[in-house]
Amino acid sequence: LVNSNKRHCMTVLDWSIIAAYLAAMVGMSVYLGRNQKNQDDYYVGGRTLPWWAIGVSTMATQTSAISFISKPAFVALKPGGGLTWLQFELALPFAIIVVMVFLLPFFRKLQLVSVYEYLEMRYDASVRYLISGVFLVSRGMAAGVIIYANAIVLAVCLEVPLWITIKKIAHRCCNIDL
């Protein structure tokens, strides 16, 4: 058992790993973004990405801090509900395969960037705006949960009050997104 009185401070090794990770992410971003000339290159990889790269990207889009923080705890600790959630997580790769086999060729053929463009083409602009709005509201609420989950971990690791980590993460997210 872990001694609950022991302080969990970040060591030099911990900070070194974090710094190396961040440097690698910045380096990869610069390297991979060097050939982007227009919006088509940025949003859809110039429409030249192989199927496996799109699959990995789609899978990564489904992953967040919540994936690593709450889902394992939910599966392990939820009475009678853990296996149901685990089933969902294990089915996700198969769902991505279905998307790659059936939906990706369809959207590529139509030269679309998003499903919202398809909704406008199939129905009208009001449907596109409605579904886009619902998505934005749901992602906004999910962002609050993601910020809170990350803030809890950082508050424990850095030994600072929770409100400070919430404020710092929210500030950083706004600066990156804008």
Q: How many CA atoms lie within 13 A of 107 on its CB side?
A: 18
> Is residue 70 domain-resident?
yes
> Is residue 42 domain-resident?
no
Beta carbons within 10 angstroms of residue 151's beta carbon: 22
Per-residue confidence (pLDDT) for residue 102, from 0 to 100: 86
Lowest mean pLDDT among 20-34, 95-109, 149-163: 95-109
> Is residue 106 domain-resident?
yes
d(CA 37, CA 47): 13
Question: How do residues 103-153 score in pLDDT, each as one tens digit?
Answer: 888 888 888 888 899 999 999 999 999 999 999 999 889 888 888 988 998
Examine the pLDDT at 2 and tell me if it is beyond 50: no
> Is residue 163 domain-resident?
yes
3-state class of 152 per DSSP?
A: helix
> Is residue 28 domain-resident?
no
Per-residue confidence (pLDDT) for residue 4, from 0 to 100: 53
**What residues have CB less than 8 Å from 53, skipping those under 6 apart?**
45
d(CA 111, CA 12): 49
Domain containing residue 167: 48-177
> Is residue 17 domain-resident?
no
Given pLDDT bands bounded at 50, 70 and 90, which one contains residue 6?
Answer: low
**φ, ψ for residue 45 (rounded to 5)?**
60, 35
Domains identified in the chain, total number: 1
Question: How do residues 63-84 score in pLDDT, each as one tens digit?
Answer: 776 777 777 777 777 776 667 7
d(CA 152, CA 159): 10
Inter-residue contact 96 to 58 (CB < 8 Å): yes
> Is residue 13 domain-resident?
no
Q: What is the mean pLDDT of residues 48-59?
A: 79
Beta carbons within 10 angstroms of residue 33's beta carbon: 10
Question: How do residues 27-44 score in pLDDT, each as one tens digit?
Answer: 998 898 888 888 777 777
* Terminal CA-CA length for the chain: 45
> Is residue 156 domain-resident?
yes
